[in-house]
Amino acid sequence: MAEHRLYLRPTGFVDAPFGLDGQVLRLAGGLTWFSTVEAIAVAGSARTGATLVPVERLDSFLGSLSSEAEQAARATLTRLTAPRPPLKLGQRAIPLDQPQVMAIINVTPDSFSDGGAHVGDPAGAAEAGMRMLEAGAAILDVGGESTRPGAGTVWEGDEIARVRPVIERLAAAGAAVSIDTRKAAVMAAALEAGATIVNDVSALTFDDQATPLLARHDCPVVLMHHRPKPPADQSGDVLIEVYDWLDERIRAAEAAGIARGRIIVDPGLGAGSFGKSVRDNLALVNGLSLLHGLGCPILLGASRKSFIGALNQEAPVARRLGGSIAVALAGAAQGVQIMRVHDAFDSVQALRVWRGLRDTALSPL
């Protein structure tokens, strides 16, 4: 019989903590408070039960567990509530006590959304990036290889040639730049050019030189869940699967010398090479708060993804802004710290309105 494991998912979110001492906890040091924890029992890869535990009864609930289970659950609770320190990006520090926008700059001919817009035009790509910064984006994510379904692998030399001149221009202008790549050689070239974050959709599994390279640097690293095909065990729970997989990748990175404090996790929304069905993507969005138990900032990349179109009469890529913002706001409500988006102005505006609502709730009359 499979051994049961316990997972803690914050829920029962409240507008403000005033007058609720002992009844609410702050989620990851952000602008969200929760009054209830869903304690999820899992055996193998499937849920076997769940209990809603009010925060005021959480201590006694944890005390009723076996010694080993209690110790693990209390460690998870500490990670759920611990503030996430600001991202140190060169001379800049980006606070993570509120949601931030990472804007996408594709320098590819075949990306699913805006492929070809900036190919062979690094000045134009950098100009577009500066407009995103003016709109309120905190980070610019530059990529030179598409991850759309069926996209081929780009030779690292070509990928470097695409991204390096863009990164150099943006870094020289003072932007915080992320490099979206799976390849160690591209990571090294981008960091040398001024990038300060590495965003790897393979979670350091594609190139065996990537992990030792990043162990020698001090930049933040995004580890994204992916699966080329659905798991053999179809009875499993996608949220638990993603949590466990990311936990394993975090531990592997730590063992190689990459501190947990430098790691950002991404649940990897999307079909194609990310391997999620529409139902999978929606279940992950519904359960995002569970991932705070990993103790790392969360990055959410839902912008213009196919599951949004699937929910609205197969809307084409260019007509998925409303759905993209809806998912971003669902993430913000669950404490997600970074939203990776194509539409910087609209996404920043939506999050500023969300922040205004939170600020008002947290400013008692």
Residue 203 φ/ψ region, left for φ over 0, alpha for ψ in the -120 to 50 degree band, beta for the rest:
left
Task: Please tell me the class of the 87-361 domain.
Answer: alpha beta
- Contact call for residues 243 and 284 (beta carbons, < 8 A): no
Residue 88: burial class (beta carbons within 10 Å; 0-12, 13-18, 19+): middle
* Residues 265/327/147/168 CA torsion (nearest 10 deg): -70
Strand 177-180 versus strand 139-143 pairing type? parallel
Give Cα separations from 310 to 147, 323, 341 (angstroms).
19, 10, 19
Per-residue pLDDT of 169-226, as tens digits, reads 999 999 999 999 999 999 999 999 999 999 999 999 999 999 999 999 999 999 999 9
Nearest to 46 by CA among 230, 237, 232, 233: 237
For the chain, the domains span: 4-81, 87-361
Q: What is the mean pLDDT of the chain?
A: 93
Instruction: State how far the Cα of 45 lies from the Cα of 240, in Å rounded to an integer.
Output: 7
HSE-up (13 A, CA, CB side) for residue 108: 25
**Cα–Cα distance, 303 to 320 (Å, whole number):** 8
Which contiguous run of DSSP H or E holds residue 78? helix 67-81
Cα separation, 111 vs 88, whole angstroms: 29
Long-range own/partner contacts, residues 18-24 (CB < 8 A, 24 or more apart):
18/364, 22/55, 22/56, 23/54, 23/55, 23/56, 24/55
Residues 239-258 have pLDDT tens digits of 999 999 999 999 999 999 99
340 part of the active site: yes
In this prediction, residues 128-153 reach a mean pLDDT of: 88
**Which residues share a beta bridge with 143?**
106, 180
- Is the CA virtual torsion 204, 171, 321, 136 positive or negative? positive
Read off the pLDDT band of 4 (50, 70, 90): confident
DSSP three-state, residue 147: coil
Mean pLDDT for 337-345 is: 98
pLDDT over threshold 50, residue 231 = yes
Q: Of 164, 262, 305, 358, which one is the catalytic site residue?
A: 305
How does residue 1 score in pLDDT terms, banded at 50, 70 and 90? very low
pLDDT of the residue at 351: 98
Q: For residue range 107-136, what is the model confidence (pLDDT) as tens digits?
A: 987 555 555 566 678 999 999 999 999 999
Tokens at residue 122, please? 């690094």
User: Quick check: 240 and 225 in contact, CB under 8 A?
Assistant: no
Judge whether 84 counts as a catalytic residue. no
Residues in the chain: 365
Per-residue pLDDT, averaged over 291-299, amounts to 98
pLDDT tens per residue, range 266-284: 999 998 767 899 999 999 9
Segment among 144-153, 238-247, 316-325 with least mean pLDDT = 144-153
Tell me: pLDDT of 97 over 60. Answer: yes
What is the DSSP annotation of 79-108? HHHSPPPPEEETTEEE--SS-EEEEEEE--
